[in-house]
Structure 1
Amino acid sequence: MTDLRVSDFDFVLPEELIAQQPPAERGQSRMLTMDRISGQLHDSHFSDFPSLLREGDLLVLNDSHVIPARLYARRTLRREKEKPTGRIEVMLTEPMGDNRWHALVRPGRKIAIGERLVFPDPDGQIALEAEVLERGEFGDRLIEFAPVQDFFLILDRIGHVPLPPYIHREDQSTDHDRYQTVFSRERGSVAAPTAGLHFTPQMLERIAADGVEIARVTLHVGLGTFAPLRVERVDDVRLHRERYSISAETAEAVNRARREQRRIVAVGTTVVRTLEAAARRAGSALLAAHSAETNIFIAPGFEFQLAGALLTNFHLPQSSLLMLVSAFAGRENVLAAYRHAVESRYRFFSYGDCMFLA
């Protein structure tokens, strides 16, 4: 138990520091490095990242692939006198099997159970149809799509990149590439694991050539990563569940690194959550290949078992991700680093700059 409050993780961020576009070239971001014991800071660039790794490190990436989860629908009129409404935004958040998805529907006030939605393609032809099965809080709906031959192929054609709510623009053609890591391969995220956005294939080749081992996990990022924490006390925070998987190859790489006391470097908070959830699931045993769900919440006082260094972007005030970073490097150290980043005009959030904490 802690006496910390969610408001203890607040900081002042000028609106103009929230990156609305990716850098002109992938990998050209700035990077703030921190010694997580002393709190010492150093201004750097992401191009310097390979020089901060050690021969024998295990670098762990999240290879989840972002799907074009933002769709636009039309209502089908349920009553003869009901007036047509404008387009309905349907943000897919979690697959539930059997053509069913949880989704955030906006505006959702009139979208009741039994409502049928149609999703037109760019030519105006109906590409998908769905029925609302359940109604939840804050616009959440369980919807069921009518069966089609290749759902994801249609999604690629009519869907939009699910940019975070703090990016105040429509998605652009460039986002289909830039809001995706170069190593993504497993479909399922509705938000990018943003620490991985900085890497280029050339940098990964250089890192491997320098004797750093690279492994992959998969954690599908849900929209809950952006959801505000609706409690006051940190002890009362409860997170959404996210699906993850660890292959036999990665489990063995992690076990070997632990046995040989080599550093495990997590690329992003999603990798930290995956590794630490898996470690707790394994207990005193070695990691094994498995798939599961986790709602692990990491805040100050948490004891890390696997992550020895962390590359991460800058996170929202009063967010669970900022709490995770604070658990890793100390709340005062992290908030001091964020103040420095604001004063030094770093770019924040998904398309922004990054930090390396070791």
Structure 2
Amino acid sequence: MHPSQLQIKDYTYELPDERIARYPLAERDLSKLLIYKEGNISEDVYRNLPEHLPADCMLVFNNTKVIEARILFHKSTGSIIEIFCLEPAAGVELTQAMMSQGSVCWTCLVGGAGKWKQQFLEKQLSTPKGDVLLKAEKRKQEQGSFEIEFSWDNDHFTFAELLHFAGVLPLPPYLQRQTEAADYDRYQTVYARQEGSVAAPTAGLHFTPLLLQQLQERGIKTQFVTLHVGAGTFQPVKSETMEQHNMHREWIEITTDTIEDLLKQLPNNIIAVGTTSLRSIESLYWMGVKAIINPNAGIEELEVQQWDAYDLPNQKTSAKEALQALLDWMKRNQLNQLICHTQVLIAPGYKARIASAIITNFHQPNSTLLLLVAALIGNDWKKVYDHAMANNFRFLSYGDGSLLWVRESSV
């Protein structure tokens, strides 16, 4: 069956409200860890993760950093208009947008848009770098969102700095609470570096500097990719079948050094830390397939679309051939880094090309993230989630997690 015909009602479960972790544990690596391999389930905590990994494996982390994407503008009437920055407006690359000075356009959600009658919303900021007046102006309305132009009167500030002073860290809506001071530390991974996400790659929240050191001491390799998580990751699938669902697209940034390391690692296990890391490395495979099909393709033509993994020819291309083709394409185009979108949908019917396993949290019912888990371990996703529910695992972003080894029979 083509994944477009999958019915989302087959990928749901009952998630009681009290099983959603509203707050993280005090110590990151004491979260519970469910280990699934070849149909068997066991339990431990993240602190002991190195004991459950082969010494010749590589962990791939997403080093994106969550930005303070919610900006609250207070009107003289006392009402509040919230602007939630989703991504730069079309044609603007994310890093470029974050480093903009003076003005920049973003696609945003607007809470209280009906109260926005004047041309500009204004927010006066006093910062250690000096005072600055931030303005927001609606440029156009799109389906479910607005294009907003931000401008400010002090060119010493980049937009990234302005967000830091003016914005609020966005927590997932299902936590149903306001952002608190502790979240600014706990809703970031300890290795977060590249600003641009509106949600954390939550599988990485369980890792501590000591745990990373222990992995290194065991000879376990680590590598980093960047996928900037979009708000679409929280959107449930509302259509009956996947055919009507539009998979959200996200920015990825991956260097040639990372791709070369993945290529060298291929004979051994590659473990994605989080669904974002897995989507990133699996996207590399399909970009390589596209580079084989059309060696003269531009970067936009290599971007992975929603159904590419099921509709492209050359499905039997090996991971080694695909990654090498992508490296060759980058060399011809004099690139040492890929910066592009991916819209890859990983659902039952998908065969993992790069990843041997995934470390991931427990995801919402009716979500594309749950489809991804089902793609990797087949119908045993029900067994895993039933076990987690029956054994007091905590769910969603601040909850516990799992190490899931890919089942060949899941394809």
Normalised to the residue count of structure 1, the TM-score between the two structures is 0.91
Contact 1:73 1:120 in 2 (8 A): no
Q: Match of 2:398?
A: 351
Q: How does 1:291-302 map to 2 (within 5 A)?
A: 291-302=339-350
Q: CA deviation at 1:127?
A: 3.8
Output one character per residue of 1:303-326: Cα deviation in whole Å (capped at 9) or x when no partner.
211010100001010000010111
Matched residue type, 1:108: A
| Offset, 1:110 | 4.6
Contact persistence 1:65–1:184 (CA under 8 A): yes
- Deviation of 1:85 (Å): 6.0
SS in 1 for 2:286: helix
Q: 1:110-259 maps to which residues of 2 (within 5 A)?
A: 110-111=115-116, 115-121=119-125, 127-138=133-144, 140-147=145-152, 148=154, 149-150=156-157, 151-258=159-266
**Alignment partner for residue 375 of structure 2, among 320, 323, 327?**
327
What letter matches 1:107 in structure 2? G
Answer yes or no: is 1:290 the counterpart of 2:294: no
> Could you say what the CA RMSD is over the residues aligned between the two structures, in angstroms?
1.9
Percent identity reads 37
Aligned to 2:35: 33
In 1, distance between residues paired with 2:401 and 2:236? 22
State the distance in 2 between where 1:133 and 1:313 align. 38
Q: CA deviation at 1:126?
A: 6.8
Structure 1 residue 229 displacement after superposition: 1.9
Moved more, 125-134 or 25-34: 125-134
CA deviations over 1:54-113 (Å, ceiling 9, x no partner):
11211100000111111101458xxxxxxx46101111110234611111111234547x
Q: Relative contact order: is structure 1 or structure 2 higher (C-alpha 8 Å, sep ≥ 6)?
A: 1
3-state SS of the aligned residue for 1:215? strand
Secondary structure of 1:317 counterpart: coil
**Cα distance in 2 for residues equivalent to 1:122 and 1:327:** 50
SS at match of 2:65: strand
Unaligned runs of 5+ in 2: 93-102, 290-320, 328-336, 406-411
**Alpha-carbon separation, structure 1, partners of 2:208 and 2:236:** 32
**SS state at 2:395 partner:** coil
1:71 aligns with 71
In the alignment, the residues of structure 2 paired with residue 121 and residue 334 of structure 1 have an alpha-carbon distance, to the nearest angstrom, of: 48
SS in 2 for 1:228: coil
Q: Alignment length, in residue pairs? A: 343
**Residue deviations 1:106-162, cap 9 Å, x none?**
1234547x8422234489x87411101111233x11101114431222221221110
Deviation at 1:333, TM superposition (A): 0.6
Partner of 2:298: none
> C-alpha distance in 1, partners of 2:121/2:237?
30
In the TM superposition, residue 45 of structure 1 has moved relative to its aligned partner by 1.1
Q: Note closer, same or farther for the CA distance 1:228–1:119 as it changes in structure 2 (3 Å cut).
A: farther
1:87 counterpart letter in structure 2: I
Runs (5+) with no aligned partner, structure 1: 77-83
Q: Is the 8 A contact 1:164 1:191 kept in 2?
A: yes
2:164 aligned counterpart, secondary structure: helix
Per mean C-alpha deviation after superposition, the further-off stretch among 232-241 and 313-322 is 232-241
Residue 274 of structure 2 is aligned to residue 281 of structure 1: no
How far apart, in 2, do the equivalents of 1:228 and 1:120 lie? 37
